[in-house]
C-alpha cells in the first residue's frame, strides 16, 4: 500500500510539473513572441528567440535569428541587437561583426524612435492579454456562454485549495444532506452551511451509485460560511463572432479587476497575497484535476496577471524600460546607457531576491 501511494504521488507530481511547464511555456511564448514580431516589424535585428534559461537543449538558426529551447523552463527571452548601446564593448569575433553590421544599417533597437521602441516593449504584455482573449473566446465557442445557474444540488465546480476540494468533492457530485438535514436545492446548501453552529459540517454526497460522508471545515468569506463550490451552469451556444467579442470583453473586465486588486494591495487596502512558481505549479495541477475548461480559464487568468506585472514601472521589467522611454521623451535625450543598465541590474537582483523569498514562503505554505 505504501509503495502504491508513493507511485500515485509520483504520478500526480509528474503530471503537475508537466502541465505547469506547458502552461508556463505558452505564457512565455506569447509574451516573447510579442516582442519578436514587433521587433521584426520595426526592422530591429533579433539575435535569439529562446524559451527557458540556462544551457541550450536544442536550437537552430533561420536567417539571422537563432531559435532555442533551454534547460530551465522558467522564462524565456527575445534578444535584440542594441538593447543597450554599450553592448559592443563586450562582443568579439562574429558577434561583434554582426552587431556592427546591424548598427551600420540602422537595425539596432536603440537607433529606433521612442515610438517604435515603446511598441517593441509593450507588445510583449499586450500579447499576454491577446492570449487570454483567445483562450476565453475558444471556451465560449466550444461550450457556449454561461447563461443560468442550476438550482439542483449538483456541484458544477469545486474550486482548488478550497475546503470542499481538499476534502474530495468534485464536479458532478450530488449533495444529499448536510448536518443531517436533507438538501433539495442549491439554496438549501448555502443556507444550511451558513447557519451551521459548528465550523465543521457533516456532508453526505452521491457519486455514481454510492453515497459517502465527509467532514468539511468551513471558512468565512464576506461574513458567510462557505466551502468553495458553485452550481452547474447552463450554457448558450453562440457563433464564433459572438464568442470572440465576449472573450475580448471578459478579458478587458478582468484586466480592470486585477489592476484594482494590485492597487488595493499596493495601497494596503487589502492584504498582499503573492504566489511564486511553486504555488502556481500546484494551482495549475489542481486546475488540471478539476477539468480542461477550468485549466484554460486559469491559464488565461495567469496570462493577464503576467502582462500586468510586466507593465509595472519597476527596473528590469518592460514597464521599467518604458518608464525610461518616458524620461527620454521629457528630457529630449536618452538616459546614459551605463546608468540605465545599472538601474536595471539592481532591479533584476531585487526581483531574484523577491522570487527566492516567495518560493521559500510557497514551500512553507504547501508543505
**CA–CA dist 113, 109 (Å, integer):** 9
C-alpha cell at 36: 519578436
CA-to-CA dists, residue 363 to 231, 282, 357, angstroms:
32, 10, 10
Residue 292 makes CB contacts below 8 A (sequence gap 6+) with none
Count CA atoms closer than 13 A to 284's CA, side-chain side. Answer: 25
Burial (Cβ within 10 Å: 0-12, 13-18, ≥19) of residue 50: buried
Q: What is the DSSP letter of 43?
A: T
Start-end of H helices in 213-336: 240-266, 277-290, 292-310, 318-331
Give the rounded distance of the alpha carbon of 140 from its chain centre. Answer: 20
Place of cell 465543521: 200
Catalytic residue among 32, 47, 162, 340: 32
Alpha carbons 182 and 189: distance in angstroms, whole number = 9
32 is catalytic: yes
Of 225, 346, 316, residue with least CA distance to 324 = 316
**First CA to last CA across the chain, in angstroms?**
22
- Residue 65's H or E segment, with its range, is strand 65-80
Look at the block and give the residue holding cell 459548528.
198
Name the phi and psi angles at 200, rounded to 5. Answer: -115, 130
Which residue shows C-alpha cell 518604458?
322
The answer to whether the CB of 30 falls within 8 A of the CB of 78 is no
Point out the residues that are catalytic.
32
Amino acid at each position: 500500500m505504501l509503495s502504491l501511494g508513493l507511485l500515485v504521488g509520483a504520478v500526480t507530481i509528474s503530471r503537475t510539473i508537466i502541465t505547469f511547464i506547458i502552461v508556463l511555456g505558452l505564457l512565455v511564448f506569447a509574451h516573447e513572441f510579442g516582442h519578436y514580431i514587433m521587433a521584426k516589424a520595426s526592422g530591429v535585428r533579433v539575435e535569439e528567440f529562446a524559451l527557458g534559461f540556462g544551457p541550450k537543449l536544442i536550437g537552430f538558426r533561420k536567417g539571422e535569428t537563432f531559435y532555442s529551447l533551454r534547460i530551465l523552463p522558467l522564462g524565456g527571452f527575445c534578444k535584440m541587437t542594441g538593447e543597450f548601446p554599450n553592448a559592443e564593448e563586450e562582443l568579439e569575433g562574429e558577434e561583434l561583426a554582426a552587431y556592427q553590421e546591424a548598427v551600420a544599417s540602422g537595425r539596432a533597437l536603440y537607433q529606433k524612435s521612442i515610438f517604435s521602441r515603446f511598441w517593441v516593449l509593450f507588445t510583449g504584455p499586450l500579447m499576454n492579454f491577446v492570449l487570454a482573449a483567445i483562450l476565453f473566446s475558444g471556451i465560449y465557442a466550444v461550450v457556449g456562454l454561461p447563461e443560468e445557474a442550476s438550482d439542483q444540488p449538483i456541484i458544477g465546480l469545486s474550486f482548488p485549495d478550497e475546503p470542499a476540494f481538499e476534502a474530495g468533492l468534485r464536479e458532478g457530485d450530488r449533495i444529499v444532506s448536510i448536518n443531517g438535514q436533507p438538501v433539495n436545492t442549491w439554496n438549501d446548501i448555502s443556507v444550511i452551511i451558513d447557519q451551521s453552529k459548528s465550523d465543521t459540517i457533516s456532508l453526505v454526497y452521491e457519486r455514481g451509485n454510492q453515497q459517502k460522508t465527509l467532514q468539511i471545515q468551513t471558512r468565512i468569506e464576506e461574513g458567510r460560511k462557505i466551502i468553495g463550490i458553485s452550481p452547474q451552469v447552463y450554457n448558450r451556444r453562440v457563433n464564433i463572432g459572438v464568442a470572440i467579442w465576449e472573450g475580448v470583453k471578459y478579458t478587458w473586465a478582468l484586466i480592470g479587476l486585477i489592476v484594482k486588486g494590485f492597487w488595493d494591495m499596493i495601497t494596503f487596502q487589502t492584504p498582499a497575497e503573492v504566489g511564486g512558481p511553486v504555488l502556481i505549479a500546484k494551482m495549475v495541477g489542481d486546475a488540471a484535476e478539476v477539468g480542461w475548461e477550468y485549466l484554460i480559464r486559469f491559464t488565461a487568468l495567469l496570462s493577464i496577471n503576467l502582462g500586468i506585472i510586466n507593465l509595472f514601472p519597476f527596473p528590469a521589467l518592460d514597464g521599467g524600460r518604458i518608464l525610461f522611454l518616458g524620461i527620454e521623451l521629457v528630457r529630449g535625450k536618452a538616459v546614459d546607457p551605463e546608468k540605465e543598465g545599472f538601474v536595471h541590474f539592481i532591479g533584476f537582483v531585487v526581483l531574484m531576491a523577491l522570487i527566492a523569498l516567495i518560493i521559500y514562503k510557497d514551500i512553507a505554505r504547501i508543505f
